Chain A
Amino acid sequence: MNADNSRKLIVLAAIWIVLLLAPYWMAPLGGYTALATRVLVLGLAAMSLNFLLGFTGVLSFGHAAWFGLGAYGAGLTLKYLALSTPLAILGGMLLGGLCGALLGTLIVRRRGVYFAMVTIAFGQVFYYVAFQWSSLTGGDDGLRGFARQPLDFGVFKLDILTNADTFYYFVLFCFALAVGAMGFILRSPFGRTMIAIRENERRSRFLGIPVERHIWIAFTLSCFFMGFAGALYALVNNFADPRGLHYSQSGDFVMMAVMGGMRSFWGPLLGAAVFVVLQDYLSSITVNWMSFVGLLFVLVVLFFPRGLLGFLQRSKA
């Protein structure tokens, strides 16, 4: 039991060291810092989805909606409301999270395929709103004309706009906050009721857990995390794209989570890293890069049903 705990601590330390040093080892390996930033943001999104999928056992196939709303929330805040990066993130998180919370009340009674279908449908509603409402969202062209702002701490300023490394560390800080919150919740009594619902809904009900209410809370939390990730994504690109709300984007997130390992906390980050790096590398060679990612996905699902990280853990044990 104790050896198990210390091994977990070592793995955790290793993950954070790798993330902290990313700007230094990415370049020699042929990468660049902005790629690492993308991995972090999309990884956070995949982990937010997995908060619901892997730990409550509820598959949402429309989670890109909250991600995209987060991006628009951040962009619109910067463009029309306040020239402040923290407020932009807050705006994105609130837009994604509150819309998710509202929608959640309508869908928590559905299960399985029906839940997935309803989330796709509602996700597409938000996609078409963003697509059609050109005067506000820029329509098909996306939302432009905003940029992340330097962080002003009074005594000193952090230039996250032009310095890629500084921005990476800012994103890593945000990532750490969100991931820390997720980990904290999952270790709490509430987090354990989520796992209980995943494991056996009927038993959970007969232990006195109001299952629908707990799924709604987990769904809402997941939407807030998703909006947070989406807001960061808008800051990465200084741009918000309606395709960020599209169900194919939702599919990408599910793919990252499943490929990395949806039963593990860190799996989706690994999945996102593989996905983003492959996309970056292959898309410079062929326009059909998605076929290769798809092929890899099929292989992982066939041969490592617990995902890449699940496989690594299994072979170590």
Chain B
Amino acid sequence: MNVLEINGVTKRFGNLVAVRDVSLNVAKGELCAIIGPNGAGKTTFFNLISGFFPPTSGTIIFDGNDITRLATHERVTRGMARTFQITEIFPELTVFENVRIAVEVADGYRLRPWINRTEAARVHKHVETTLKLVALDIKADRLVGELAHGDQRAAEIAMALALRPHLLLLDEPTAGMGDQETYQITQLIRRLHRDSQYSIVLIEHDMRVVFHLADRVCVLDQGRMLAQGTPQQIAANEAVQAAYLGSAA
């Protein structure tokens, strides 16, 4: 059973074709990494999946339903959560409050002008479980804006998890991190994948992270899907090596 089926998706911006006829299936519980040189169209591809803008052509099927034309928040409501290359959080709120908003929206309370005790207690509990999962429970009362970069990333992932997604989209989860933080986030993603069976698609530059985590690697180059396969297959693929060496030269 596939969580996500992307069929021949193309995105044009004027004369520029950012994503060209890309297809990708993500099976339930799979972790799929998207790599590629700078400007390969990875983030555009992510934006198409999460509904930042509609594709010029092609279809996107999520959980068996066509979501190609759905707005962002409708995709989120159907179980798709994402994080960003540059962390998107609520800096002036505490870690707890950040995640609470996500939980309340996920529980369908977003339009409610009141919340009763039982509901509030359930929300509270769910926030705490989520924070424990990313090891931020001890920093629940800190302002997110004052946390270290790695913890902010973890908080953003916690907000995504609080939505109980069927699919998690992570855009460069280790961007701008030192070795220690990269290691921690990698371990976190590994736990989410192995222990909690999340289906995950991530963009990543750090090859150590990719090879450590991914079931499958997809290589984008100049908007095209250059190759797909296990990490070992991709490492041995000559076209991929050429693309990377070519862009490095």
Write the residues of chain A forming the contact surface with B, with a CB cutoff of 8 angstroms: 1, 184-185, 188-193, 195-196, 199-200, 202-203, 205-211, 214, 217
Interface of A is mostly: helix
Q: Bound state CA distance, A196 and B162, in angstroms?
A: 15
User: Are B113 and A206 in contact (CB-based, < 8 A)?
Assistant: no
How many B residues, CB 8 Å from partner? 32
Residues of B79-112 at the interface with A, using a CB-CB cut-off of 8 Å, are 81-82, 84, 88-93, 97, 100-102, 104-106, 109-112
User: Are B89 and A189 in contact (CB-based, < 8 A)?
Assistant: no
Could you say which residues of chain A place their CB within 8 Å of the CB of B115? 188-189
Write the residues of chain B forming the contact surface with A, with a CB cutoff of 8 angstroms: 50, 71-73, 76-77, 81-82, 84, 88-93, 97, 100-102, 104-106, 109-115, 141, 159, 163
The number of inter-chain residue pairs (CB within 8 angstroms) is 79
Could you say which residues of chain B place their CB within 8 Å of the CB of A193? 101, 104-105, 110
Q: Bound state CA distance, A208 and B93, in angstroms?
A: 19
Highest count of chain B CB atoms <10 Å: which of A200, A211, A217: A200
The 10 A-B residue pairs whose C-beta atoms are closest, nearest first, are A208-B76, A199-B90, A189-B109, A203-B88, A189-B104, A188-B113, A208-B77, A210-B73, A189-B112, A196-B101
Question: Which one, A185, A199, A200, A205, contacts B113 given CB within 8 A?
Answer: A185
Q: Bound state CA distance, A193 and B107, in angstroms?
A: 13
Could you say which residues of chain B place their CB within 8 Å of the CB of A200? 88-91
Q: Bound state CA distance, A191 and B101, in angstroms?
A: 10
- Residue in A closest to B92 when the chains form the complex, CB atoms: A199
Q: Bound state CA distance, A192 and B102, in angstroms?
A: 10
Could you say which residues of chain A place their CB within 8 Å of the CB of B71? 210
Q: Bound state CA distance, A202 and B47, in angstroms?
A: 12
User: Are A207 and B112 in contact (CB-based, < 8 A)?
Assistant: no
Question: Which one, A1, A189, A206, contacts B82 given CB within 8 A?
Answer: A206
CB distance from A258 to the nearest CB of B (A): 18
28 contacts between A and B (CB under 8 A): A1-B141, A184-B113, A185-B113, A188-B115, A189-B104, A189-B105, A189-B111, A190-B110, A190-B112, A191-B113, A192-B97, A193-B104, A193-B105, A195-B101, A200-B88, A200-B91, A202-B88, A205-B73, A205-B76, A206-B72, A206-B73, A206-B81, A207-B102, A207-B163, A208-B110, A209-B105, A210-B71, A211-B73
